[in-house]
Amino acid sequence: MDKVLSSSICGISASLFLLIACPARAEFQIQEAGIEKGEIELEYRGAYHWGVPEVTDANPNANDLIQSHELEFSMGINDWWLIQVTGGFDQPLHEDLQASSVEVESEFALLKREGDGVAVSFQFGYSQAINHGEHVDGEPNEFAFGPIVEVAKGPFLLTLNPLFTKQIGTFADQVGLGFDYGWRGEYDFAKHWGVGVEMFGEVEDLANAGPFNSQVHSIGPTLFCKFGGEENEAKGGGDDEGEAKAHDREKASERPAVSFSMNVGVQFGLTDATSDTALKFQGSLSF
């Protein structure tokens, strides 16, 4: 009964959010280190911004998107290698919603964990910008690479996503590398529910970083809901639980069970280049 009730609440919450809060923006992503052979995941990410700054000579790095969306398909080729394909759509200030990019990513697990401990993966990808019409200042194509680090202890999970970027193509204007980051501290207070804090930021060019106030940085709380899949799948849980989980997986021949997860959060801008407030949503179905 408790599982059914939790599942129903999650489904209703997701439906209400999509009806009320879609439009959205998609750059608020925390990539996780877990990879399972044969697992397929379909994910939607998005957010909607208020207090969007204008791009001006005095504020050239302003994040001027009102909304954006990402639809992602990922598959675990084996227990150590995952591939992802993502389509992006966004709406800059004073413009219409339109397709913005296609991205292909690959993730490799370097250190895996069962229960408490540390997991490390490495990700890299290529993003092809979709520029519409004759843009004087179009968006560049981009390579990105960096580690994914998870530290788990009981119901607490810390995830770090530092990412280095390099622009290429006609519209590239970097001197050095760019740097994007995201981190999440999550605490599961119930079987299917968790709360946390997330922070995201972007430095377009480390060689010309400029003052902090000209960079994009935001922070805020997030609510998490998860159900389905392996019931023992937890942030941590100790060595005994980890060994039991590993033993169960060795015995199982089928793919992981169907599971659904979602999170809803608010981000507050910390600089003049960042929107005042953003409402973010992420929902995924894996099987």
Q: How many CA atoms lie within 13 A of 258 on its CB side?
A: 2
Backbone angles phi, psi at 75, to 5 degrees: -145, 135
CATH number for the segment(s) 2-286: 2.40.160.40
* Structure confidence by residue, pLDDT tens digits, 127-155: 999 987 655 578 899 999 999 999 999 99
Q: Which of 204, 195, 200 is nearest to 47 (CA)?
A: 200
As beta bridge partners, residue 38 has: none
CA distances from 58 to 31, 64, 95, 232, 233 (A): 33, 14, 21, 52, 49
**Both tokens of residue 96?**
């219409």
pLDDT of residue 24: 37
Q: Where are the domains of the chain?
A: 2-286
Alpha-carbon span 190 to 24, nearest angstrom: 28
- For residue 136, what pLDDT is reported? 56
Regions of the chain with pLDDT less than 50: 1, 4-5, 8-10, 12-25, 232, 234, 244, 251-253
